[in-house]
Amino acid sequence: MYLVFSLAMWLLGGTFALLIRTELFSPGMQFVDPLLFNSLTTMHGLIMIFGAIMPAFVGLANWMIPLQIGAPDMALPRVNNFSFWLLPFAFVILLGTLFVPGGAPAGGWTMYPPLALQGGASFPMTIFAIHLMGISSVLGAINVIVTILNMRAPGMPLLRMPLFVWAWLITAYLLIGVMPVLAGAVTMLLTDHYFGTTFFAAAGGGDPVLYQHVFWFFGHPEVYIMILPAFGIVSEIISTFSRKPTFGYESMVYALAAIAFLSFIVWAHHMFTVGMPLAGQLFFMLATMLISIPTGVKIFNWTATMWRGSLSFETPMLFGLAFLFLFSIGGFSGLMLAVVPADFQYHDTYFVVAHFHYVLVAGALFAIQGAVYHWLPKWTGHMYDTRLARWHFWLSAIFVNVLFFPQHFLGLAGMPRRIPDYATQFTDWNRVSSIGAFVYGLSQLLFVWVVWKCVRGGARVENRVWDGARGLEWELSSPPPHHSWERAPSAQMLERAFTP
């Protein structure tokens, strides 16, 4: 249910993105007015983050964590059900804002005051929808933590868990730590709008920059909430198709924990241009650069896992390799943004848009699609159409770069983000980017078709679908029974599961 919901939201958010790129194909106003354009950018961001990427990872956690730790199900199935059903209602409310007087929220997904406070009837609906999404995330995180800590198979210590499970355990603590902070920030917006408080109104002694601090204290760990599970997925894929255990397993776990800890102390690198004191700029610059160390550990360990491995390039491995290469590009541009004097040039330009889309599309989304191709035969008992899956990969890998790489050039040339019109000197690269968007977007229909065909039928697969697969999930039948492990796996099964 999580994965199907995520797929629907991803297609809707992608449709909004194509409308944005259609408007930006040429300078001047063609198809939408400026208010609707701003609403599309705001809704695209909210839908993709809270409706597509996060629920997809929660869906993968629901399906894979019990299989991988030898548990029959998640620990709190009713809580799980409640946390899922909050989401459709939240997004019905959010999408309903498109049809109320004044239109959908148009202040960016960050909802900075005072602009966000000028919304019409959509304002309280947006805040309420975000509260429901937050409650859903916290309940899901509690469920993950309880399941992992209480329901692991006897004989599976923490430092023997698959890296996907480790990544989700750490992500769940991040969610519990920061979702209430977002709830606090948007509640203060609500009281400023309706109850006469002045948290963010300078005229009443408040400060709009306070909102930015509170929001980004949530917002930066949120970035890692959307990438840590991807790190776990890519670790599983690269190990499987290199036919080797992950190089430096323990250092990978410690790197995940270090990234999560550091994510709490770098939030103001989003705010270098607000007039921060020099000492603050230096601290946040250096702390941001520090994150590149544990992230670099992961990149080098994945590379070392492949070194002298018996590699094969099935579709999941292709997505894993594309993730490795393209996520590194996103990481390097993030390091560029961490340098304070340079950030004054990059800030609020298309360079930032290119950076975070390399991290979230070529990073998080590629990892999710790699995970589906990796585990789909296990879930369904059928092998998907590998030829179509490869077509999907190559079209995605090529055109995601045609779409986002030119945006680096646009940003460096000074094109601001979130504008519906632009000067004529930006026309050529915008056209290249829009063409990339349409080919990339349409190629995703191939992904939907491959998954649909596989669910409907196909060649039967064995229990261990992939030659190099290791882990408890591959000891079960394909597809696994509904209550995957009625009996805890034996010590011999554990040994067999984790022996290359």
Among residues 122, 239, 295, 315, the one annotated as catalytic is 295
**What is the C-alpha radius of gyration for the chain, rounded to an integer number of angstroms?**
22
Is 485 one of the annotated active-site residues of the chain? no
Angle, CA of 185, 189 and 192, to the nearest 5°: 135
pLDDT digits (tens, 9 = 90+) for 198-210: 999 999 999 999 9
Among residues 131, 152, 244, 298, the one annotated as catalytic is 298
Task: Name the average pLDDT for the chain.
Answer: 95
What is the percent of the chain where pLDDT is above 90?
Answer: 93
Is 270 one of the annotated active-site residues of the chain? yes
At 294, the pLDDT band (50, 70, 90 cuts) reads very high
CB–CB of 3/87 below 8 Å?
no
What is the percent of the chain where pLDDT is above 70?
Answer: 100
pLDDT digits (tens, 9 = 90+) for 36-61: 999 999 999 999 999 999 999 999 99
Is 220 one of the annotated active-site residues of the chain? yes
At 119, the pLDDT band (50, 70, 90 cuts) reads confident
* Secondary structure element (H or E) that encloses residue 270, with its range: none
Is 73 one of the annotated active-site residues of the chain? yes
pLDDT attached to residue 500: 61
Residue 120 has pLDDT above 90, yes or no: no
- Of 65-69, 366-370, 467-471, give the lowest mean pLDDT range: 467-471
pLDDT attached to residue 497: 78
Is 482 one of the annotated active-site residues of the chain? no
pLDDT attached to residue 486: 86
CA-based nearest residue to 138, from 169, 172, 188: 172
Among residues 22, 26, 73, 173, the one annotated as catalytic is 73
Among residues 23, 192, 222, 343, the one annotated as catalytic is 222
Higher pLDDT, 499 or 271: 271
CA-based nearest residue to 396, from 314, 319, 317: 319
Residue 40 tokens, joined = 């599309």
Among residues 160, 243, 417, 431, the one annotated as catalytic is 417
Among residues 21, 131, 193, 270, the one annotated as catalytic is 270
Residue 254 tokens, joined = 């410690």
For the segment 161-181, the average pLDDT, to the nearest whole number, is 97
Among residues 21, 269, 347, 378, the one annotated as catalytic is 269
Is 136 one of the annotated active-site residues of the chain? yes
For the segment 55-75, the average pLDDT, to the nearest whole number, is 95
Largest CA distance in the chain: 70
Is 109 one of the annotated active-site residues of the chain? yes
For the segment 423-432, the average pLDDT, to the nearest whole number, is 97
Among residues 41, 137, 396, 484, the one annotated as catalytic is 137
Residue 499 has pLDDT above 80, yes or no: no
| Domains of the chain from N-terminus onward | 2-497 (1.20.210.10)
Does pTM top 0.85 for this prediction? yes
At 131, the pLDDT band (50, 70, 90 cuts) reads very high
pLDDT digits (tens, 9 = 90+) for 438-496: 999 999 999 999 999 999 988 999 999 998 899 999 999 999 998 888 888 888 888 88
pLDDT attached to residue 126: 96
User: Which residues, 6 or more positions from 215, have their beta carbon under 8 angstroms from its beta carbon?
Assistant: 110, 111, 112, 182, 185
Among residues 42, 136, 171, 246, the one annotated as catalytic is 136
Query: What count of Cα atoms within 13 Å lies in the side-chain half-sphere of residue 171?
Result: 26
Is 483 one of the annotated active-site residues of the chain? no
Among residues 41, 235, 349, 484, the one annotated as catalytic is 235
pLDDT attached to residue 94: 97
Cβ atoms within 10 Å, residue 298:
22
